[in-house]
């Protein structure tokens, strides 16, 4: 996944582009570059972060890119933009050009010389070919699109023009509308400090933009009318606002993220038919939300819920079952999830997408969309979008329980009442940051960790281990606490930290015996629990507030997030941009 931007207006383009790219760095950060139209086209590109770009060029129109390498190693030569043989065009690309090998061969035969190992570079050479024939940027752009296979968001400029041409197919691209200036970007935060008026491009659309106007076309060149939307995200929502890292800010934004998500959920009707079975499909953190959803929905609805990694769902043979299929993806752009959604639809299932991003790709591949309203999440590690996904699943459980006549009105009201108290529960859990910091000091030098939970808190243990691995690079594994003795216990050594999530429900006594098992082998046990009694059995306790077991995942999530954050910080890790990772993974 990469981040791309385009700007045409009255400001110095290089400054706008650098600022916008910094806000897109969560999408990729192994190299960055920009091209600005002035007397010709001036390009600056480098391996490394956006902050390495100087941006000292004149010009009011330009494009930019921040890369997460797929084809070709991260290097100066593979950084975008590409300017081809003549230097008349510059392009940036997000996605994969599947037929680039055959295009490249063909273009080399025609005399084109390549400067990089990327699939993207063919785009600019195709533009040159088209322009040589038609002497028209727009015609050359449409012709180029016709030759490409794969997924692409492309933004291109031509020497001597303040016009930008752009296209979207299966990679996101949003237009920002300003006064005498217009913007293009992979995601809204890129231009949020200039405008909140946006047009969301759909697959198969082309955009022609300059400071005075914007036109949209289909791939055949027919003009399309598009709706302008207003986003209620503030520019500050895409800033660190005094926090040292986006991740920490986003952890602390969770009460607001849940409140806003509740508002969205309460004001939209959820009308999903009964199928007697639910399948949830997702990746990473969204998958962990899916497993929590399984425990919850099975409990509330009494119907079976299966959860699949999206990359595995596609391997599943067609089976004879009737099921509602729910895809969870905060970005709405994860390639594996999108492929799975297409497969499910093709097989005739009724599908639902839960996403945080307005108009994202998943919304085009499902029958029903449920939005979370967590606001922009910039840190690569998902935090507030996870609890917002949980909120959506809890609400879904109550709403469907009522609609299907499974839950009594009274039970439903009880759940919703408690649901409304979640933001406060999270606020109280955030109060224990000081305790968590101290515990992080004790575990910061560990090489391995275990996370244990049972029932609904097993997926929260999974999420805790994922957060710890992802940002602190400590090897952390989660187990349903009962499974430990069936093998993994052999790995336990003196001093290995074991995080145990202990809730006062039917799992409580069993969790206590599991804690004794690991303590007896010398593990350092950290309990996340509202029960003071636990202190008799463990080394440290994170005292999350007392709450019903059903809603305990919210407070416990905050504890595992903060523990990962402070451990990673003490280890001096790049918290918002962990090595080898990108915010959403748009390759399969
Ligand atoms: O955008 P999605 O929810 O589809 O993303 C899925 C995963 O790539 C994502 O949750 C990933 O695991 C996070 N970086 C974890 O913090």
Q: What are the tens digits of pLDDT across the range 352-410?
A: 999 999 888 899 999 999 999 999 899 999 999 999 999 999 999 999 999 999 999 99
Instruction: Tell whether ligand 1 has an atom less than 6 A from the beta carbon of residue 285.
Output: yes
Nearest Cα residue to atom 4 of ligand 1? 329
What is the total count of domains within the chain?
Answer: 3
Residue to mutate (ligand 1; options 287, 337, 574, 584; most atoms within 8 A of CB):
584
Instruction: Tell whether ligand 1 has an atom less than 6 A from the beta carbon of residue 337.
Output: yes
pLDDT at residue 251, as a whole number: 97
Q: What is the DSSP string of 394-436?
A: HHHHHHHHHHTT-S-HHHHHHHHHHHHTHHHHHHHHHTTHHHH
48 and 169 together in one domain: yes
Distance 286 CA to ligand 1 centre (A): 6
Percent of the chain with pLDDT over 90: 86
369 and 389 together in one domain: yes
Query: 451-498, pLDDT tens digit by residue?
Result: 999 999 999 999 999 999 999 999 999 999 999 889 888 889 899 999
Both tokens of residue 91?
């392009």
Going across the sheet that includes 350-355, the strands are 305-309, 278-282, 324-328, 350-355, 368-371
Ramachandran region, residue 487 (left: φ > 0; alpha: ψ -120 to 50; beta: rest): left
Residue to mutate (ligand 1; options 186, 187, 286; most atoms within 8 A of CB):
286
Distance 355 CA to ligand 1 centre (A): 11
Q: What band does 138 get if pLDDT is binned at 50, 70 and 90?
A: very high
Q: What band does 584 get if pLDDT is binned at 50, 70 and 90?
A: confident
d(CA 538, CA 273): 47
Statement: residue 308 has pLDDT above 90: yes
Nearest residue to 440 via CA among 285, 579, 560: 560
Closest ligand 1 atom to 285 CA: 10
Nearest Cα residue to atom 12 of ligand 1? 284
Instruction: Let me know: does 196 contact 230? Beta carbons within 8 Å.
Output: yes
Instruction: Tell whether ligand 1 has an atom less than 6 A from the beta carbon of residue 470.
Output: yes
Query: 117-136, pLDDT tens digit by residue?
Result: 999 999 999 999 999 999 99
pLDDT at residue 362, as a whole number: 94
Distance 382 CA to ligand 1 centre (A): 6
pLDDT at residue 73, as a whole number: 83
Query: 75-103, pLDDT tens digit by residue?
Result: 999 999 999 999 999 999 999 899 999 99
258 and 388 together in one domain: yes
228 and 296 together in one domain: no
Tell me how far apart the terminal alpha carbons of the chain are, to the nearest angstrom.
11
Statement: residue 237 has pLDDT above 80: no
303 and 446 together in one domain: no
Statement: residue 282 has pLDDT above 90: yes
Query: Between the CA of residue 126 and those of 162, 220, 444, what are the distances in Å?
Result: 21, 18, 52
Query: 178-199, pLDDT tens digit by residue?
Result: 999 999 999 998 999 999 999 9
Q: Is 583 a catalytic residue?
A: yes
Compute and round to an integer the Cα radius of gyration of the chain. Answer: 25
Q: How are beta strands 150-158 and 164-169 bridged, if at all?
A: antiparallel
pLDDT at residue 238, as a whole number: 76
Distance 111 CA to ligand 1 centre (A): 42
Distance 338 CA to ligand 1 centre (A): 13
Instruction: Let me know: does 55 contact 86? Beta carbons within 8 Å.
Output: no
Instruction: Let me know: does 340 contact 536? Beta carbons within 8 Å.
Output: no
Query: 371, 387, 420: which is the final residue of a domain?
Result: 420
Statement: residue 233 has pLDDT above 90: no
307 and 413 together in one domain: yes
pLDDT at residue 270, as a whole number: 83
Instruction: Tell whether ligand 1 has an atom less than 6 A from the beta carbon of residue 292.
Output: no
Both tokens of residue 340?
């799975």
Instruction: Tell whether ligand 1 has an atom less than 6 A from the beta carbon of residue 329.
Output: yes
d(CA 176, CA 192): 8
Nearest Cα residue to atom 1 of ligand 1? 331
Q: What band does 22 get if pLDDT is binned at 50, 70 and 90?
A: very high
d(CA 70, CA 582): 11
Out of 2, 207, 412, 573, pick the active-site residue: 2
492 and 414 together in one domain: no
Query: 405-439, pLDDT tens digit by residue?
Result: 999 999 999 999 999 999 999 999 999 999 999 99
Chain-centre distance of CA 451, in angstroms?
24
Query: Between the CA of residue 453 and those of 6, 136, 178, 433, 461, what are the distances in Å?
Result: 47, 63, 50, 21, 6
Q: What's the CATH code of the domain at 480?
A: 3.40.50.10490
Q: Is 299 a catalytic residue?
A: no
Q: What's the CATH code of the domain at 45?
A: 3.60.20.10
Instruction: Tell whether ligand 1 has an atom less than 6 A from the beta carbon of residue 331.
Output: yes
Statement: residue 43 has pLDDT above 80: yes
Query: 216, 236, 256: which is the final residue of a domain?
Result: 236
Distance 288 CA to ligand 1 centre (A): 10
Give the pLDDT mean for 282-288.
98
284 and 300 together in one domain: yes
Distance 580 CA to ligand 1 centre (A): 13
Nearest Cα residue to atom 7 of ligand 1? 284
Its domain, for residue 142, covers 3-236
Instruction: Tell whether ligand 1 has an atom less than 6 A from the beta carbon of residue 564.
Output: no
Percent of the chain with pLDDT over 70: 100
pLDDT at residue 489, as a whole number: 87
pLDDT at residue 498, as a whole number: 97
Positive/negative CA dihedral, 330, 332, 335, 340: positive
Q: How are beta strands 182-185 and 213-218 bridged, if at all?
A: unpaired
Distance 489 CA to ligand 1 centre (A): 29
The residues facing 280 across adjacent strands are 307, 326
Out of 45, 169, 577, 583, pick the active-site residue: 583
337 and 387 together in one domain: yes
Instruction: Tell whether ligand 1 has an atom less than 6 A from the beta carbon of residue 305.
Output: no
Query: 221, 236, 251: which is the final residue of a domain?
Result: 236
Closest ligand 1 atom to 330 CA: 3
d(CA 234, CA 22): 17
Statement: residue 236 has pLDDT above 80: no
219 and 259 together in one domain: no
Q: What band does 25 get if pLDDT is binned at 50, 70 and 90?
A: confident
Strands (DSSP E) along 48-113, which ranges?
Answer: 61-67, 89-97
Distance 533 CA to ligand 1 centre (A): 36
478 and 510 together in one domain: yes
Instruction: Tell whether ligand 1 has an atom less than 6 A from the beta carbon of residue 354.
Output: no
Nearest residue to 168 via CA among 157, 179, 147, 152: 152
Instruction: Tell whether ligand 1 has an atom less than 6 A from the beta carbon of residue 380.
Output: yes
Nearest residue to 528 via CA among 506, 548, 504: 504
188 and 294 together in one domain: no
Instruction: Tell whether ligand 1 has an atom less than 6 A from the beta carbon of residue 254.
Output: no
Nearest residue to 25 via CA among 4, 56, 55: 4
Q: What is the DSSP string of 150-211?
A: EEEEEEEEETT---EEEEEESS--EEEE-SS-EEEESSGGGGTTT--EEEE--TTEEEEEET
């Amino acid at each position: 996944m990469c981040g791309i931007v385009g700007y045409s207006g009255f400001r110095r383009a290089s400054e706008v582009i650098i600022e916008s790219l910094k806000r897109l760095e969560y999408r990729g950060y192994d190299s960055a570059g920009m091209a600005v139209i002035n007397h010709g086209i001036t390009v600056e590109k480098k391996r490394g972060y956006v902050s390495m770009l100087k941006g000292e060029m004149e010009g009011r129109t330009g494009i930019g890119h921040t890369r997460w390498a797929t084809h070709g190693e991260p290097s100066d030569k593979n950084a975008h933009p590409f300017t081809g043989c003549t230097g008349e065009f510059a392009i940036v690309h997000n996605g994969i050009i599947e037929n680039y090998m055959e295009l490249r061969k063909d273009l080399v035969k025609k005399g084109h010389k390549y400067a990089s190992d990327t699939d993207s570079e063919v785009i600019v050479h195709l533009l040159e070919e088209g322009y040589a024939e038609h002497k028209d940027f727009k015609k050359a752009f449409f012709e180029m699109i016709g030759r490409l296979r794969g997924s692409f968001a492309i933004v291109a400029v031509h020497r001597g023009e303040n016009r930008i041409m752009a296209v979207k197919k299966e990679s996101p691209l949003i237009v920002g509308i300003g006064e005498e200036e217009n913007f293009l970007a992979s995601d809204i935060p890129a231009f949020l400090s200039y405008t909140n008026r946006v047009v969301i491009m759909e697959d198969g659309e082309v955009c022609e933009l300059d400071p005075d106007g914007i036109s949209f076309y289909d791939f055949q060149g027919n003009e399309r009318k598009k709706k302008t939307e207003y986003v209620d995200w503030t520019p500050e929502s895409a800033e660190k606002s005094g926090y040292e890292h986006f991740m920490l800010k986003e952890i602390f934004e969770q009460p607001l993220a849940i409140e806003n998500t509740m508002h969205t959920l309460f004001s939209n009707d959820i009308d999903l038919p009964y199928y007697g079975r639910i399948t949830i499909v997702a990746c990473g953190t969204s998958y962990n939300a899916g497993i929590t959803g399984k425990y919850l929905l099975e409990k509330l609805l009494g119907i079976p819920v299966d959860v699949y990694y999206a990359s595995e769902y596609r391997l599943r043979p067609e089976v004879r079952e009737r099921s509602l299929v729910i895809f969870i993806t905060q970005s709405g752009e994860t390639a594996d999830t999108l492929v799975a959604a297409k497969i499910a639809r093709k097989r005739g299932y009724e599908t639902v997408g839960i996403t945080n991003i307005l108009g994202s790709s998943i919304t085009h591949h499902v029958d029903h969309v449920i939005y979370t309203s967590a606001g922009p999440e910039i840190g690569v590690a998902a935090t507030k979008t996870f609890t917002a996904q949980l909120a959506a699943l809890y609400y879904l459980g109550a709403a469907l329980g009522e609609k299907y006549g499974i839950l009594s009105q009274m039970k439903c009201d009880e759940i919703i009442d408690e649901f409304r108290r979640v933001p406060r529960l999270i606020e109280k859990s955030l109060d224990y940051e000081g305790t968590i910091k101290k515990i992080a000091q004790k575990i910061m030098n560990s090489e391995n960790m275990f996370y244990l939970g049972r029932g609904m808190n097993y997926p929260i243990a999974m999420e805790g281990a994922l957060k710890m691995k992802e940002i602190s690079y400590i090897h952390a594994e989660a187990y349903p606490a009962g499974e430990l003795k069936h093998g993994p216990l052999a790995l336990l050594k003196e001093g290995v930290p074991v995080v145990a999530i202990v809730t006062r429900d039917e799992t409580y006594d069993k969790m206590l015996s599991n804690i004794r098992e690991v303590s007896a082998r010398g593990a350092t046990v950290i309990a996340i629990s509202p029960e003071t009694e636990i202190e008799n059995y463990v080394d440290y306790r994170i005292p999350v507030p007392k709450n019903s077991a059903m809603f305990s995942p919210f407070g416990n999530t905050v504890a595992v997030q903060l523990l990962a954050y402070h451990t990673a910080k003490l280890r001096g890790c790049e918290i918002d941009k962990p090595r080898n990772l990108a915010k959403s993974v748009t390759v399969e």
